[in-house]
Amino acid sequence: MRHIRIFDTTLRDGEQSPGVALSLQQKLEIAHGLARLNVDIIEAGFPVNGASEFECVSRIAAEVKGPVICALARTHKLDIERAAAALEKAEKKRIHVFTSASKVHLQYMLRKTPEEILEISDAMVRYARQFTDDVEFSAQDVMRADFDFVMKLYETAINAGATTINIPDTTGYGTPQEYGALIKRIYDEVVRGRDVHISAHCHDDLGMATANSLAAVENGATQIECTINGIGERAGNTALEEVVMALYVRRDHYKAHTQINTRELYRMSRMVERYTGMVVQPNKAIVGDNAFAHESGIHQDGVIKNKETYEIMNAELVGRQAAVLVLGKHSGRAAVKKALADLGYKLDDTQIGAIFARFREIVERKGPIETEELRALVESESVSTPH
Ligand code: KIV
Ligand code: ZN
């Protein structure tokens, strides 16, 4: 089983979500939570981006133990110096140097030729290596770049001392097949057995970030960059909880594992939701309100008989309460009968039939009810013998 490193960038790329601004205390709490989750690397921020960003990275570096603490830097000396200074107190530190690869980025943003990008990247990775042995190199917008240039760029970075090469699909443009094939090409042509990690960094503009990251793992990547709840620029980044649970539940397929303490996933999701104000959609995989809820009669009947009929993982495994049977208009008699038994009522079939009829009238009118409302209904029908 290959070990897949989880590189969490909630505090850097995730915080770039429109409208999100975390305080120092909130960032520290999230970073401690990520350490409890046992992520391999925490990208704490972009220190050159102002005094408060610098302060956040240095406090996390000084106080959070366990994961490698990483700081972002453009291919500029000052960025690298600020990153190194902010990381000074970290037990384990990484500088993440990034440039761009696509023609549109080179022409309009960086105003540099491909040759200049190669030269600058070489010099800046070497410069970053003067501060730490752990240097990651990224080129933005790889999926829209000329792949021959991409190969040269990553070859240059590795020769200059990069120990992780990160392959960002910055605009979420690639398909799983294309992204996987590019990772394989980099693995075969550039890494060539050298002790260098390939990292997947995917954005979710077309809803393919998780699939692309997993395709990367199948083709040689050993690191995934992701955020809690998938927050990030525009449609966001790869969701940490999704890739971690996909690798766990389908370990037979991926033949890989992470070191994540999955029981902390739900708690982290709620913390990030609270602090960022970015509400998790109810049907979000793993952490959404409905992710372990069953409402339809057929599903409820199946789950009551054997959970495995409709569940591929236990809710407890991700730190949630056991799966819930929603008492709503799609519920069948089996779920109502079970809820009544759980409440301590011993009822015969006629009594259950009467309660079920009343229940259907109510949920048709006002939507799902809580079990306590079911209790009130039983009491009002006075057909019960609680024990
Ligand atoms: O999406 C991206 O290209 C990035 C880089 C800075 C790695 O976030
Ligand atoms: Zn990104």
**Ligand 1 atom index nearest CA of 13:** 8
- Quick check: 189 and 220 in contact, CB under 8 A? no
* 285, burial (CB in 10 Å: exposed 0-12, middle 13-18, buried 19+): middle
- Quick check: 235 and 281 in contact, CB under 8 A? no
The CA distance from 216 to 197, in Å, is 12
Kindly report the protein residue whose alpha carbon is nearest to atom 8 of ligand 1: 13
Host H or E run for residue 200:
strand 197-202
Region of residue 316 (left: phi > 0; alpha: psi -120 to 50; beta: else): alpha
* Token pair for 250: 């389908």
Q: What is the pLDDT of residues 343-368, one digit of tens each?
A: 999 999 999 999 999 999 999 999 99
Q: What is the pLDDT of residues 249-305, one digit of tens each?
A: 999 999 999 999 999 999 999 999 999 999 999 999 999 999 999 989 999 999 999
**Ligand 1 atom index nearest CA of 203:** 1
| ipTM higher than threshold 0.85 | yes
201 is in an annotated binding site: yes
* Token pair for 317: 């495994």
Mean pLDDT of the chain: 96
Distance 202 CA to ligand 2 centre (A): 7
The CA distance from 202 to 210, in Å, is 8
Host H or E run for residue 2:
strand 2-3
Mutate to test the pocket of ligand 1, among 76, 170, 204, 225 (most ligand atoms within 8 A of CB): 170
Compute and round to an integer the Cα radius of gyration of the chain.
25
Question: Which residues are in the CB-under-5-Å shell of ion ligand 2?
Answer: 13
- Quick check: 256 and 247 in contact, CB under 8 A? yes
203 is in an annotated binding site: yes
**Ligand 1 atom index nearest CA of 72:** 6
Q: What is the pLDDT of residues 164-202, one digit of tens each?
A: 999 999 999 999 999 999 999 999 999 999 999 999 999
Q: What are phi and psi of 289, to 5 degrees?
A: -55, -35
* Token pair for 264: 């902390």
Amino acid letter, 206: L
Q: How many helices (H) and strands (E) does the chain have?
A: 15, 12
Pocket of ligand 1 (CB under 6 A): 13, 98, 138, 140, 166, 168, 170, 201, 203
DSSP states along 69-93: EEEEEESSHHHHHHHHHHTTT-SSE
